[in-house]
């Protein structure tokens, strides 16, 4: 018996010593312990992406993927520290808006010459997605999705307030005045808040305000690096939101978890949150114990002249050092990214929009729950001009906006402070 | 052979030899990084850029310190009458108390220095056309001082009362001592998680109690008036244990004979605590206070995880600002300048502790 065990142990050692190329991978999206390898049934961002990664590790010959432990809130700090320490992960997920900062320093591998050989067809990418990962002519990432702000709607409450069309879709505002009128009508009929969102910590407020800036043809800063925060357009955008707080039609003090809970508990008509929760809310609405039952997803409404909403894009990148020093792992890393891209439809199940034309046009994609309800978002997607200081600028805006609605700082002071701080960051 | 070689080492050499591992580790992991930090603080140093190109840094002398702490057209005047007035009162008090020999020379000097800082520091402000180069730095320092100012008395007083209450050799007290110490062994992530749930206005214990009592739940972590209090409460709960153990050790040093003698003079309960326990614990209290001050100036996790410095920077603390400047903004030079500033503050308190420690021995 002992002999058998020893032989088995030896065999196992040999098996594991087979020339499997280990690829380290870093990602945000949260943890999922038992994601398995079934990419078609997992629910939620964390479990869907981990099931795809697990499947890549199991199915790609000679490649094992080791997902590194990372934390959402400090993800980019960890990545920077890893780069500074000379041990970046072989593959890592990034927001398209962070690519300029890393690519400008030579941190990222230019993938443009190697994608085709790895089976990645860039001609299938949506043009906006290609733009997002392109820096000075090079391609520094493989895009995975578009994500955007949406209105998540409780149709039952909206019906109570007489805010539902005959076709069953919610009646949404088309101007700031109408927003206030709808919110008041809603409160009068239901006694509940019209709108909920994490206005207290997560930068949802920033995304709302910049969306409304773009809807007025304005922006936070221009392509030459001049801050233009202190404008009448910004005031109009901020006032659209503040009027809801002032009239007790929304609560600015809810954080992410609390605002989500308020929506699921049927305590608010509309939740402003991203594409990433559509499948989660859909599954919650199907649960008889959850008060939300009639769930609808709507495009972010156009309250001003132009159609625009905040959007971003996630993509996968590889360190330049890997391409230069370790071609074998680089090739394995590309195969992992190609595998993830092949499962773009699975990833789109989260609620994110696909970046692949072939997927966008497929019946399977269009048959995903609620997909037709926010189809227009794809054409409304917009982002800030490329900058190496995206996070710092977003933090400044988030702080000053929260100062307005959480601490009563005057809009004038908040905007003049934001103007100075953002200009300092752009100049640094 | 071995004994002969050992005999050849003088006591001094043997001591040095035994100290070498410690000194090497100390030099490598503490002294060298410290001086490197000071060196980095004198450079325009982008974390990522220098990682890829060591020549990407530029020597800028003290410009980072100026950029962080100073501004354009900074003037000095009566900008914060309340604080500066308090400082003046403190200065006068220190002089009077010292002249009448009511306090020791050291205490008079300490009070004088703190008061002088109160008069001088809040007086700096930008003139009409001026501005701070970094308008967040000094408010962040202020928040950190406020946090320390609330947490240290909070920990010290509650730990002292708990220790006095549990200074009895019964099984129940043993269990209670263990229970109160347990929070100390938790990591900051666990502590903040527990308290985020406790403070949640929807499902938190505090909100439930408030609702039962007929009140409206408070949004502790996102309300300007309560956010700082929330992280102070969590920190006091977390740091009680070690202070309590130190006080218990101090209490057990007080001879029971003193209490017996005091009891004969009718000093029991609170009177005994005031006239016997407190004076005898003076050294322990000072030690606990100084240790806590040094510890809590380095607060990071509670602010980072519970409130993310908000709302409107009301809970933004120095280490979190250093962290953000260094990693989020990649401005390692400026972050190091702030870190050196923090070092000077903590160094100051360490000197105080050192002086007090020496006073005790004399």
Q: Which residue is listed with tokens 């209290």?
A: B285
Confidence class for position A1, pLDDT limits 50, 70, 90? very low
Q: Which residue is listed with tokens 């020339």?
A: A19
What is the model's pLDDT at position B148?
95
Confidence class for position A7, pLDDT limits 50, 70, 90? low
CA distance B318 to chain A (A): 17
Model pLDDT for residues A181-233, shown as the tens digit of each residue: 999 999 999 999 999 999 998 899 999 999 999 999 999 998 888 999 999 99
Domain count, chain A: 2
The range of the structural domain enclosing residue A58 comes to 20-147+312-380
Asked if pLDDT for residue B52 goes beyond 90, the answer is no
Which 190-229 residues of chain A touch chain B by CB within 8 A? 200-201
Q: Which of B69-73, B228-232, B260-264 has the lowest mean pLDDT?
A: B260-264
What is the model's pLDDT at position A378?
83
Model pLDDT for residues B110-128, shown as the tens digit of each residue: 888 889 998 998 899 998 8
Are residues A231 and A366 located together in one domain of the fold? no
- Read off the tokens for A94: 């990034």
CA distance B51 to chain A (A): 5
Asked if pLDDT for residue A8 goes beyond 60, the answer is no
Site from A205, A392, A396, A414 to mutate, B interface, most B CB atoms within 10 angstroms:
A392
Asked if pLDDT for residue B2 goes beyond 80, the answer is no
What is the model's pLDDT at position A19?
65
Per-position DSSP letters for A7-53, written without gaps between them:
HHHHHHHHHHTS-PEEEEEE--S---TT--S-TTT--SHHHHHHHHH
Longest dimension (CA), chain B: 84
Are residues A101 and A170 located together in one domain of the fold? no
Q: Which of A208-222, A230-244, B261-275 has the lowest mean pLDDT?
A: B261-275
Q: For chain B, what are the domain ranges?
A: 1-32, 75-132, 138-361
Are residues A271 and A156 located together in one domain of the fold? yes
Are residues A226 and A177 located together in one domain of the fold? yes
- Average pLDDT on A168-179 reads 97
User: What are the beta bridge partners of residue A221?
Assistant: A227
What is the model's pLDDT at position B358?
72
CA distance B28 to chain A (A): 17
Angstrom distance (rounded) from CA A382 to CA A379: 9
- Read off the tokens for B130: 């001026």
Kindly report the CATH number assigned to the domain that includes residue A219: 3.40.190.10
In a domain, A59, yes or no: yes
Asked if pLDDT for residue B147 goes beyond 90, the answer is yes
Is A389 in Cβ contact with B329 (below 8 Å)?
yes
- Average pLDDT on A376-401 reads 87
What is the model's pLDDT at position B7?
60
What is the model's pLDDT at position A339?
97
Are residues A205 and A123 located together in one domain of the fold? no
- Average pLDDT on A149-165 reads 96
Considering CB atoms only, which of A76, A83, A406 is closest to B224? A406
Are residues A137 and A41 located together in one domain of the fold? yes
Confidence class for position A315, pLDDT limits 50, 70, 90? very high
Q: Between residues A140 and A43, which one has the greater pLDDT?
A: A140
Angstrom distance (rounded) from CA A213 to CA A220: 8
- Average pLDDT on B140-146 reads 95
- Average pLDDT on A86-115 reads 94
Are residues A162 and A140 located together in one domain of the fold? no
Measured between CB atoms, does A392 come within 8 Å of chain B? yes
Considering CB atoms only, which of A73, A255, A428 is closest to B222? A255
What is the model's pLDDT at position A282?
95
Considering CB atoms only, which of A102, A253, A400 is closest to B222? A253
Q: Find the closest chain A residue to B313 by CA distance.
A: A399
Q: Find the closest chain B residue to A107 by CA distance.
A: B52
Strands (E), chain B: 43-44, 58-59, 71-76, 124-132
Are residues A124 and A249 located together in one domain of the fold? no
Model pLDDT for residues B197-252, shown as the tens digit of each residue: 999 888 889 999 999 998 888 989 989 999 999 999 999 999 999 999 999 999 99
Model pLDDT for residues B310-334, shown as the tens digit of each residue: 898 999 999 999 999 999 889 999 9
User: What are the beta bridge partners of residue B59?
Assistant: B43
- DSSP letter assigned to residue A230: S
Q: For the beta carbon of residue B176, count every other beta carbon within 10 angstroms.
A: 15
Q: For the beta carbon of residue A20, count every other beta carbon within 10 angstroms.
A: 15
Are residues A205 and A243 located together in one domain of the fold? yes
> Cβ(A142)–Cβ(A336) under 8 Å?
no
Task: Classify domain B138-361 at the CATH superfamily level.
Answer: MetI-like (1.10.3720.10)
Q: Which of A145, A250, A173, A163 is nearest to A205 (CA)?
A: A250
Asked if pLDDT for residue B360 goes beyond 70, the answer is no
- Read off the tokens for A381: 């997607």
Q: How many CB pairs under 8 A join A and B?
A: 94
Are residues A141 and A57 located together in one domain of the fold? yes
- String of b and e for B131-147 (b: at least 16 CB within 10 Å)? ebbbebbbbbbebbeeb
Confidence class for position B343, pLDDT limits 50, 70, 90? very high
Are residues A116 and A33 located together in one domain of the fold? yes
In a domain, A1, yes or no: no
Considering CB atoms only, which of A76, A257, A399 is closest to B312? A399
Considering CB atoms only, which of A107, A201, A392 is closest to B222? A201
What is the model's pLDDT at position A222?
85
Are residues A409 and A337 located together in one domain of the fold? no
What is the model's pLDDT at position A15?
47
Of all residues in chain A, the percent with pLDDT exceeding 70 is 96
**Long-range pairs for B269-277: beta carbons < 8 A, 24 or more residues apart:** B273/B164, B277/B164, B277/B251
Is B201 in Cβ contact with A80 (below 8 Å)?
no
């Amino acid at each position: 018996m002992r002999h058998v065990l020893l032989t088995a142990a030896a065999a196992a050692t040999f098996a594991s010593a087979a020339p499997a190329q280990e690829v380290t991978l870093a990602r945000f999206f949260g943890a999922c312990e038992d994601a398995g390898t079934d990419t078609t049934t997992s629910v939620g961002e964390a479990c869907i992406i981990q099931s795809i990664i697990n499947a890549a590790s199991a199915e790609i010959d000679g490649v094992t993927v080791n997902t590194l432990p990372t934390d959402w809130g400090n993800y980019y700090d960890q990545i920077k520290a890893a780069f500074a320490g000379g041990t970046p992960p072989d593959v890592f997920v990034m927001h398209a808006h962070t690519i300029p900062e890393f690519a400008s320093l030579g941190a990222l591998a230019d993938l443009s010459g190697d994608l085709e050989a790895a089976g990645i067809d860039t001609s299938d990418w949506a043009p906006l997605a290609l733009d997002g990962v392109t820096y000075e002519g090079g391609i520094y990432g493989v895009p995975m999705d578009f994500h955007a702000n949406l209105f998540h709607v409780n149709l039952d409450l909206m019906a109570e307030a007489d805010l539902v069309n005959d076709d069953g879709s919610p009646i949404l505002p088309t101007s700031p005045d109408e927003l206030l009128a709808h919110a008041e009508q809603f409160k009068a009929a239901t006694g509940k808040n019209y709108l909920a969102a994490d206005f207290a910590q997560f930068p949802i407020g920033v995304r709302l305000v910049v969306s409304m800036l773009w809807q007025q043809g304005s922006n936070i800063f221009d392509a030459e690096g001049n801050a233009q925060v202190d404008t009448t357009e910004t005031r109009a955008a901020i006032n659209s939101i503040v009027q809801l707080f002032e009239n007790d039609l929304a609560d600015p003090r809810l954080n992410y978890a609390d605002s989500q809970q308020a929506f699921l508990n049927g305590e608010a008509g509309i939740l402003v949150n991203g594409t990433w929760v559509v499948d989660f809310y859909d599954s919650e609405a199907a649960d008889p114990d959850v008060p939300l039952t009639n769930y609808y997803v709507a495009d972010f409404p156009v309250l001003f002249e132009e159609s625009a909403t905040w959007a971003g894009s996630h993509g996968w990148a590889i360190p330049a050092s890997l391409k230069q020093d370790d071609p074998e792992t680089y090739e394995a890393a590309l195969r992992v990214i190609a595998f993830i891209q092949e499962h773009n439809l699975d990833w789109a199940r989260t609620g994110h929009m696909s970046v692949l034309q072939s997927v966008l046009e497929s019946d399977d994609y269009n048959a995903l729950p609620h997909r037709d309800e926010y189809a227009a978002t794809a054409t409304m997607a917009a982002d800030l001009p490329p900058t190496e200081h995206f996070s710092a600028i977003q933090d400044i805006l988030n702080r000053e906006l929260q100062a307005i609605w959480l601490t009563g700082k005057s809009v004038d002071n908040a905007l003049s402070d934001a103007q100075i701080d953002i200009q300092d960051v752009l100049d640094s | 052979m071995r004994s002969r070689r050992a005999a050849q080492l003088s006591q001094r050499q043997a001591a040095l030899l035994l100290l070498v591992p410690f000194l090497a580790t100390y030099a490598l992991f503490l002294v060298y990084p410290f001086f490197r930090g000071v060196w980095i603080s004198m450079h325009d140093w982008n974390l990522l850029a220098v990682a890829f190109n060591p020549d990407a840094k530029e020597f800028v002398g003290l410009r980072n310190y100026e950029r962080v702490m100073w501004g354009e057209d900074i003037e000095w005047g009566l900008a914060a009458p309340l604080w500066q007035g308090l400082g003046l009162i403190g200065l006068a008090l220190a002089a009077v108390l010292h002249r009448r020999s009511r306090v020791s020379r050291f205490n008079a000097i300490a009070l004088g220095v703190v008061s002088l800082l109160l008069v001088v520091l809040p007086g700096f402000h930008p003139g009409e056309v001026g501005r701070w180069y970094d308008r967040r730095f000094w408010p962040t320092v202020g928040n950190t001082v406020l946090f320390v100012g609330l947490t240290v008395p909070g920990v010290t007083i509650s730990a002292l009362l708990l220790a006095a209450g549990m200074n009895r050799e019964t099984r129940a007290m043993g269990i209670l001592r263990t229970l109160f110490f347990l929070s100390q062994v938790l990591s900051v992530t666990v502590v903040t998680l527990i308290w985020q749930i406790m403070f949640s206005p929807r499902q938190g214990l505090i909100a439930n109690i408030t609702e039962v009592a007929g009140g409206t739940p408070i949004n502790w972590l996102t309300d300007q008036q309560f956010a700082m209090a929330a992280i102070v409460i969590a920190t006091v709960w977390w740091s009680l244990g070690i202070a309590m153990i130190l006080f218990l050790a101090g209490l057990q040093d007080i001879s029971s004979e003193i209490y017996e003698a005091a009891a004969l003079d009718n000093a029991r309960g609170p009177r005994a605590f005031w006239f016997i326990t407190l004076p005898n614990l003076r050294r322990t209290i000072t030690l606990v206070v100084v240790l806590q001050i040094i510890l809590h100036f380095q607060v990071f996790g509670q602010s980072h995880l519970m409130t993310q410095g908000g709302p409107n920077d009301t809970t933004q603390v120095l280490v979190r600002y250093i962290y953000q400047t260094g990693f989020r903004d990649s401005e390692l030079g400026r972050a190091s300048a702030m870190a050196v500033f923090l070092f000077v503050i903590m160094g100051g308190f360490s000197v105080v502790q050192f002086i007090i420690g020496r006073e005790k021995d004399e």
